[in-house]
Amino acid sequence: MALKPSYKPMEITLIKKDKNKTYLRTQLGISPSTLAKMSNGEFVALSVIARICEDLQCRIEEVVEFIEE
């Protein structure tokens, strides 16, 4: 059994905070390639997830969860 990341919790959190992925790119400086990785359920650096958590003032589980492949 392999686990892969799912960023669906981040999308829900963004909606709750009235923000979107464009905000992440322009205000937090997250690259388009990193956002593409997130959309495809690929791993991204923990430092990126930490920046998102800090800015949105949320816990890590509100940004990413692991699901079985």
Write down the pLDDT at residue 69.
87
Do 4 and 69 contact (CB within 8 A), yes or no?
yes
Q: Is 48 a residue whose pLDDT tops 90?
A: yes
Going by pLDDT thresholds of 50, 70 and 90, the confidence category of residue 44 is very high
Residue 38 exposed, middle or buried by CB count within 10 Å (0-12, 13-18, 19+): buried
Token output for 18? 């009235």
Q: Per the confidence metrics, is the pTM higher than 0.85?
A: yes
Pick the CATH number of 3-68 from 1.10.10.10, 3.10.310.40, 3.40.50.2000, 1.10.260.40: 1.10.260.40
Going by pLDDT thresholds of 50, 70 and 90, the confidence category of residue 10 is very high
Token output for 65? 């969860």
Listed residue (52, 28, 24, 51) closest to 36, CA to CA = 24
Do 31 and 48 contact (CB within 8 A), yes or no?
no
Spell out the domain ranges in the chain: 3-68
Average the pLDDT over 51-61 and give the result: 97
Write down the pLDDT at residue 57.
97
